[in-house]
A and B are shown apart, each in its own frame.
Chain A
């Protein structure tokens, strides 16, 4: 077995706000196996994007900081790397795709110029090489008429095409790890299928590892190898995709899987809903955070002591709250 490409251990990320320090990611650990896709699934405010921004060190400064833990990538700890060295890694060895391509692309620069920037930041090469590499990459992400598209601006492209440009920019330096943060949420379902397949094909071709962040369990099931389920700043369950869907152990994962309408469910029947709302960051408890929505009685001890991460089956980890995991 190869060593994992990325090892995150006990990562704690917090934001300093007027109301005090808010811990958005509260001690999470996971690994990304080489050449595989790890899915991180969770609802808004669960800390999945903050995890991505911690790995790429793109946390808003000076409010967002990594307070503890390590992010080991190829023998180095990204959490404590000087900014200049991180800049050499970002966009080169580790790249990121964002949710909304229209806000992530520069509206006043042509696609070609933005691609060239990504190349020239990390390699020295002449104009002809830059152009050749850009066209080559545009072809790889299946953009028709790439020569012409390079001279266009983001607003001239459709949503799907823009996301392809984002992917081209992210992959142009053949990264070892790609972090895709809700890459298809803003897209239509037919275009989503195209983009997911494109990412999977390019992953095969280039042998990279992927972290896919999404709130959509359908997307997770389609493309991921490993899955981490996040809730309120913590990972509550982690397993291979087949294990997680066939045998979810945490009450939150179970509730989430039962609450989504499926094509084969009977129309107009009531769904099994998780009661209550996703807790805000200020209301995070020190113990089991799913307690009040679980519909199961927790004792005071369960609410104050953090349940340990336990491997309950081979490769299947769960935040072992005795009430939420049976």
Chain B
């Protein structure tokens, strides 16, 4: 597997297309809205547009990073893709198959290939199950192997994620945070998936343990040819893990580019603000920064036009209302929301 950036296909025709020839996952204009209920009859009085028209694709063996502040919809997007949620509209195509509206039964074979790693391993592992129960379950659900075979597979998995065989008969609470996340990762790779959605996989871990888990994810990707959708709010971590990075703001992707390109030549004002806010672990590089004012607005009744221009009270914001804000390619593989307020 190639580890560096894949070569860019400059003649890419498909919008936001992955630089790799055959995308594993294609998401088109995905919307995930939640009703906000109120009043006596708990009628739907508004809708929370958590994901509001997102398109991208992801190639085999590729990592797409997804960053944004809390409430921007990145976790919801991850959950829609693994179909823990039923999208409101749009299209999700995995491995050439439309899974947008597939039923639970229809999804079962697909679930082998799409897995998820959650932020808090303490909450995503059943506390009453031993590690063996947890890691065996995917095989049982998929009706694979005999009892002895499954036991062997569980041992293999533990070995792969760097846990001792003795971990098998212990319970999640007996492990530290980093080890628990390793169990979560073992469960995700059990069925040899093609795509793993990693939702803030290291945010809950100690600093010295984070790098171990990141290294494990990189190793597994190289060995198994995995694709990752890597969701995190820490931009340095996302940049380190990704081939391409998408920046999300209030339910929409505002910029998508190869990782290095995004960090060196950010085009959207929000990307610039996010980059500028990262504390740099080097006191020699202290700087006076342009601080972003205000908080992330609510996705319930978001402003028309460019939501970030609205937050910044940009004089040109009004011009973005009613404009087509579909991402435009400004340089090979670098896509930006073309609003007059945030991208010159």
Q: Which residues of A contact B (CB under 8 A)?
A: 43-44, 158-161, 188-194, 196-197, 215-222, 241-242, 245-246, 255-257, 259-263, 265, 267-275, 277-278, 293
B212 at the interface (CB under 8 A from A): yes
Q: How far is the CA of A43 from the CA of B176 in the complex (A)?
A: 13
Q: Would you give the shortest CB distance from A46 to chain B, in whole angstroms?
A: 9
Q: Select B63's contact among A220, A259, A268, A293, beta carbons within 8 Å.
A: A268
Q: Which of B181-207 contact A (CB under 8 A)?
A: 206-207
Which chain A residues lie closer than 8 Å to B278 at the CB level? 189, 218, 263
B223 at the interface (CB under 8 A from A): no
Whether B243 pairs with A268 at a CB distance below 8 angstroms is yes
Q: How far is the CA of A275 from the CA of B209 in the complex (A)?
A: 8
Q: How far is the CA of A268 from the CA of B275 in the complex (A)?
A: 19
Q: Which of B204-229 contact A (CB under 8 A)?
A: 206-212, 214-215, 218-219
Q: Which of B247-279 contact A (CB under 8 A)?
A: 259-260, 263, 273-279
Interface size class of B (residues with CB under 8 A): 35 or more
Q: Select A43's contact among B207, B279, B284, beta carbons within 8 Å.
A: B207
Which chain A residues lie closer than 8 Å to B5 at the CB level? 267
Ordered by A's residue number, 12 sampled pairs between the chains whose C-beta atoms are within 8 Å are A190-B69, A190-B291, A221-B285, A260-B236, A262-B240, A262-B280, A263-B239, A270-B218, A271-B214, A273-B215, A277-B178, A277-B209
Whether B207 pairs with A267 at a CB distance below 8 angstroms is no
Known: A267-B5, A274-B209. 16 other contacts (CB 8 A): A43-B208, A159-B295, A189-B274, A190-B274, A190-B291, A218-B279, A221-B280, A222-B279, A222-B286, A242-B284, A246-B284, A261-B241, A267-B4, A268-B241, A273-B212, A277-B178
Which chain B residues lie closer than 8 Å to A245 at the CB level? 281-284
Which chain A residues lie closer than 8 Å to B276 at the CB level? 193
Which chain A residues lie closer than 8 Å to B3 at the CB level? 268-269
Most buried by A among B207, B240, B274: B207
Chain B 56-76 interface mask (CB, 8 Å, partner A; 1/0): 000000010000011000000
Whether B207 pairs with A215 at a CB distance below 8 angstroms is yes
Whether A193 pairs with B277 at a CB distance below 8 angstroms is yes
Q: How far is the CA of A43 from the CA of B206 in the complex (A)?
A: 6
Q: How far is the CA of A161 from the CA of B295 in the complex (A)?
A: 9
Whether B211 pairs with A273 at a CB distance below 8 angstroms is yes
Which chain A residues lie closer than 8 Å to B211 at the CB level? 259-261, 271-274
- The prevalent SS among residues of B at the interface is helix
B344 at the interface (CB under 8 A from A): no
Q: How far is the CA of A220 from the CA of B212 in the complex (A)?
A: 22
Whether B283 pairs with A188 at a CB distance below 8 angstroms is no
Given contacts A222-B286, A260-B207, A262-B281, contact A267 B296 (CB under 8 A): no
B111 at the interface (CB under 8 A from A): no
- The prevalent SS among residues of A at the interface is helix
Residue of B nearest to A277 (CB): B176
Given contacts A190-B273, A271-B214, contact A217 B284 (CB under 8 A): no
Q: Would you give the shortest CB distance from A241 to chain B, in whole angstroms?
A: 5
Most buried by A among B219, B242, B286: B286
Q: How far is the CA of A256 from the CA of B234 in the complex (A)?
A: 17
Whether B239 pairs with A261 at a CB distance below 8 angstroms is yes
Q: Would you give the shortest CB distance from B299 to chain A, in whole angstroms?
A: 14
Whether A263 pairs with B208 at a CB distance below 8 angstroms is no
Q: Would you give the shortest CB distance from A262 to chain B, in whole angstroms?
A: 6
Residue of A nearest to B287 (CB): A222
B233 at the interface (CB under 8 A from A): yes
B11 at the interface (CB under 8 A from A): no
Q: Would you give the shortest CB distance from A240 to chain B, in whole angstroms?
A: 9
Whether A160 pairs with B240 at a CB distance below 8 angstroms is no
Q: Would you give the shortest CB distance from B31 to chain A, in whole angstroms?
A: 24
Given contacts A268-B240, A272-B211, contact A263 B263 (CB under 8 A): yes
Residue of A nearest to B292 (CB): A190
Q: How far is the CA of A278 from the CA of B212 in the complex (A)?
A: 12
Which chain B residues lie closer than 8 Å to A44 at the CB level? 206
B25 at the interface (CB under 8 A from A): no
Whether A189 pairs with B208 at a CB distance below 8 angstroms is no
Q: How far is the CA of A62 from the CA of B314 in the complex (A)?
A: 55
B42 at the interface (CB under 8 A from A): no
Residue of B nearest to A227 (CB): B283
Whether B274 pairs with A160 at a CB distance below 8 angstroms is no
Q: Would you give the shortest CB distance from B255 to chain A, in whole angstroms?
A: 15
Q: Would you give the shortest CB distance from B152 to chain A, in whole angstroms?
A: 27
Most buried by A among B63, B208, B237: B208
